[in-house]
Homo-oligomer: A and B are copies of this chain.
Amino acid sequence: MQIDLDTFSAMFDGPDLREVSFLGGRPRFVLRSSMFERDELESLCATARAIRSLDAHEQGARLLERVLHRKRVLHLFAQPSTRTCESFATATARLGGSARVLQDLSATSFVKGETIRDTAQVWAASFDLLVLRHPDDRFVLQCAHSLALGPHTMPMISAGTGTLEHPTQGLLDVFTLLDSLGSLDGRSVAIVGDTSRNRCARSLATLLSRFEQIRIAFVSPPEFEPEQALLESLTARGVRVELHHHLGPLLAAHGESLDAIYVTRLQQEWDEGEAALLGTSPGLVLDPGYRRFLRPSCRILHPLPRVNELPTEWDDHPGFLIWDQVRNGIWARAALIATLVGADAGLREATGA
């Protein structure tokens, strides 16, 4: 492939997304949630369920360990994220692979002025899969471009990019909802937080739009409402979208009809100056008093870490799924990796799924 970087990058944000993201029917560069359609999401969730079930007994665990046998996975996290990093590393271990974690780019040759292309080639000579978290989407695209050019190459999964995307978080959230609710068609979900800069919120909304008759109520500060492009892509998929600024009135009026509430943290680390001092706006806190507005079966999710927007009084709510999300992160990521290396069908068959 001799395509230049700008053309390559543009493919990820236009109609060529699937062409550049898949190779031979398998995901190759997992940078955008929107690369997945419904059947792929359902297949990934079925694989995640199969892996969880195989992992529970000795013979199944041995089968899992064949998936990445002798493979080495580089987990490169340029931003602090124990949670996502350990989740990926655990998934890698469950599949029998060897996980290498690098959390400090200052130990790399970038400090000596090396290009991303050279560095990515060096990584690809030593590793079989790259899991990359980086604040700069351009950096992520340059890595993918170099891996596409070769000669050394490997597939790559984004583990979160700036405020933009967090496809595997979206995947584990959809898996958790699907696993708990049985089906997603016709579901009504509130997504709470400063959506325009919350990658988890946006990735989830995008993936939900792959199902039928979805309703999403975004609850965010006026200045961080979902951007127009996201809203358009959702409505183009038939999602009924509402925008709100305060949780209380919404739940008082329509809490009974909600199947799930997805609470996120105000992204204070992105702020400089005054905005950083705001803390979580009271209108976006899931107050314990709102419990009376919700069905006991309403699911409560949060991508973690949480600060005060989801008080611990919710931890004993029957629909509280946060700890399930954490475990499901391992299975969903393992499912994605197994799909990348073409082992997913075999795992599903092994459990009759």
Residues of A within 8 A of B (CB): 61, 70, 72, 77, 80-83, 86-87, 89-90, 93, 98, 100, 102-104, 106-109, 111-115, 117-119, 121-123, 125-127, 151-152, 265, 268-269, 304-307, 312, 323, 326-327, 329-330
Q: State how many angstroms separate the Cβ of A266 from the closest Cβ of chain B.
A: 10
Across the interface, A304 reaches (CB within 8 A) one of B80, B109, B127, namely: B109
CA separation between A306 and B72, bound complex, in Å?
26
- Flag if A82 contacts B122 (CB, 8 Å): yes
Task: Give the dominant DSSP class at A's interface.
Answer: helix
CA separation between A70 and B65, bound complex, in Å?
10
Name A96's closest neighbour in chain B (CB-CB): B70
- Flag if A83 contacts B122 (CB, 8 Å): yes
Q: State how many angstroms separate the Cβ of A126 from the closest Cβ of chain B.
A: 4
Name A125's closest neighbour in chain B (CB-CB): B326
CA separation between A312 and B5, bound complex, in Å?
14
Given contact pairs A70-B61, A122-B82, A152-B323, A269 touches B112 in the complex (Cβ within 8 A): yes
- Flag if A108 contacts B121 (CB, 8 Å): no
Q: State how many angstroms separate the Cβ of A62 from the closest Cβ of chain B.
A: 9
- Flag if B326 contacts A121 (CB, 8 Å): yes
Given contact pairs A61-B70, A107-B80, A305-B113, A323 touches B121 in the complex (Cβ within 8 A): yes
- Flag if A126 contacts B72 (CB, 8 Å): no
- Flag if A90 contacts B107 (CB, 8 Å): no
Which residues on B sit within 8 Å (CB–CB) of A307? 112-114
Q: State how many angstroms separate the Cβ of A30 from the closest Cβ of chain B.
A: 21
